[in-house]
Amino acid sequence: SVISFASYNRYNNEILVDTVAVSVINAVTSLIVGIFAFATIGNIAREHSTNIENVINDGPGLVFILYPQAMAHMPFSNFWAVLFFFMLLCLGLNSQFAIVEVVVTSLQDGFPNWIKRNLVCHEILVLVICFISFIFGLPNIFQVIAICWLYGTDRLSRVIQHMTNHYPSLYFRFCWLIASPLLITCVLVF
């Protein structure tokens, strides 16, 4: 996606200035976020009279547990929580835009006349790309359903036990049978 975005630069663009600016802004932003994150973790550890290691584990817990807990102690906590989760939504959408932009730019550069003649505008091409991506994602749900419901989780578990000498836990069988189809359906619908 970076190459797609870079293709919009002017031919004689000062890339060194842009590179240094983006690197410095990224470093400063990361430093500020790190200071805020560790200050928050330290404050929560102090409030609960525990070690920092016991406050939170790595992964999404930092974003979805720790920050909302920290915002609950701030004045106008609902306002800050709405802003925080809106920021997360914008970050997710930004990532999706970058992924779609790679495909759109490639098609526009490869077939410019055909796209101008048949799709009229840029937005129609983006809509077509998103619709095709949605259709290509549908087999994921049917694959999970076919393997777990038609082939069966018991047979799949026996095959895995034969391969690894370990029978899959109840958690994995629950994920295969219920959680995965449900979550994939939610992602596709919403």
- Which phi and psi (to 5°) does residue 74 adopt? -90, 155
The CA–CA distances, whole Å, from 89 to 78, 82, 134, 177 equal 16, 10, 19, 29
From first to last of the 190 residues of the chain, give the pLDDT tens digit. 666 777 777 877 777 888 899 899 999 999 998 898 888 888 888 888 888 777 776 677 677 777 788 888 889 988 988 998 999 889 888 888 888 888 888 888 888 888 888 877 778 888 888 888 888 877 877 888 888 888 888 998 998 888 888 898 898 889 888 888 888 888 777 6
Burial of residue 132 (number of CB atoms within 10 Å: 0-12, 13-18, 19+): exposed
The C-alpha atoms of residue 10 and residue 189 are separated, in whole angstroms, by: 40
Q: Which two tokens stand for residue 92?
A: 């997710």
* Dihedral sign of CA atoms 102, 103, 106, 108 in order: negative
The C-alpha atoms of residue 97 and residue 26 are separated, in whole angstroms, by: 20
Residues making up the binding site for Na(+): 26, 91, 95
Residues making up the binding site: 26, 91, 95
Identity (one letter) of the amino acid at 33?
Answer: V
Which of 110, 40, 38, 31 has the alpha carbon at shortest distance from 69? Answer: 40
For the entire predicted model, the pTM comes to: 0.57
